[in-house]
A and B are shown apart, each in its own frame.
Chain A
């Protein structure tokens, strides 16, 4: 379903890129999410002081609270992966919340974005695994009995592929569904503010989905760090 009006598409239209931007709203709005995050990061890090003030306070609570949470799941080794995880969380959160602003398209409502994020998260968990266990990481895929290796290897490979797909489709499905419901209700009863309750629930959905994506990536990294079963 086509979005009725997109703000960034008209902005790109000023440079004669309207057709491209209309076909790739997830790309342009992903750039917007990146810009928002970079600006916020710059604002937070601009005047770091020992006694935190307003903006720094908020970011410190968010960042350090999440860091303790990640470390409580993965153990001390997971602290190195934390920058990636919090980036994923903040990016997905900003991307999801964009769906609630009129004339904005949530970049996470496109399967391209979520697939890229899931591939990065799961791929990184394997990098962490190889990094921690070296060549022995392959034991994670071989099961307990050596005789059963031909059976266990494809099973484990399928299970690990399912991780990528489940991350991809959970986020994509939720955001796409939310976007679609809002659009349909807007067309049917926009004059009576019909999409409002769904949009109110969308705040919750955006937060929960961002958190679930972050939590599952953390757990995959934790699974790669721990010893083979």
Chain B
């Protein structure tokens, strides 16, 4: 396999998995918040905290990809 093809495939894999990782990050944050809410009986508070963390985690993926994409 040529070196250029390998590099292109690597980038392809990285950017193709971006979308699903954003969506899943948000859901993981939300789920974590809901679970902790049930555990500590603080109904809506931790859900929002978890949701915010999940959204931030998802968007940090996008920002990181954008920084990486500047090289092209």
What is A's interface to B at a CB cutoff of 8 Å?
A: 65, 68-69, 72-73, 151, 154-156, 158-159, 161-163, 165-166, 169-170, 212, 215-216, 219
Q: Is B42 located at the chain interface by the 8 A CB criterion?
A: no
Q: Which residues of B contact A159 (CB under 8 A)?
A: 21, 25, 57, 60-61
Q: Which residues of A contact B29 (CB under 8 A)?
A: 158
Q: Which residues of A contact B20 (CB under 8 A)?
A: 166, 169-170
Determine the main DSSP class of B at the interface with A: helix
Cβ distance A115 to chain B, nearest Cβ, rounded Å: 13
Q: Which residues of B contact A151 (CB under 8 A)?
A: 56
Cβ distance A56 to chain B, nearest Cβ, rounded Å: 20
CB-based nearest B residue for A156: B57
Given A155-B53, A162-B57, A215-B10, are A72 and B24 neighbors across the interface (CB < 8 Å)?
no
Interface centre among B7, B20, B57, B61 (most CB of A within 10 A): B57
Q: Are B13 and A158 in contact (CB under 8 A)?
A: no
Determine the main DSSP class of A at the interface with B: helix
Given A72-B7, A159-B21, are A215 and B13 neighbors across the interface (CB < 8 Å)?
yes
Q: Are A158 and B57 in contact (CB under 8 A)?
A: yes
10 smallest A-B Cβ distances: which pairs?
A162-B24, A158-B57, A215-B13, A155-B57, A72-B6, A162-B25, A166-B20, A165-B24, A162-B21, A159-B57
Q: Are A155 and B60 in contact (CB under 8 A)?
A: yes
CA–CA, A151 and B26, complex, Å? 15
Given A65-B1, A72-B6, A166-B21, are A155 and B28 neighbors across the interface (CB < 8 Å)?
no
Q: Give which listed residue, B6, B16, B28, contacts A73 with CB less than 8 A.
A: B6
Q: Are A155 and B56 in contact (CB under 8 A)?
A: yes
Given A65-B1, A162-B25, A165-B24, are A215 and B53 neighbors across the interface (CB < 8 Å)?
no
Give chain B interface residues in 1-48, CB to chain A under 8 Å.
1, 3, 6-7, 9-10, 13-14, 16-17, 20-21, 24-25, 28-29, 32
Besides A154-B57, A162-B58, A165-B24, 8 more A-B contacts (Cβ < 8 Å) are A65-B1, A68-B1, A69-B6, A155-B60, A162-B24, A163-B21, A166-B24, A216-B13
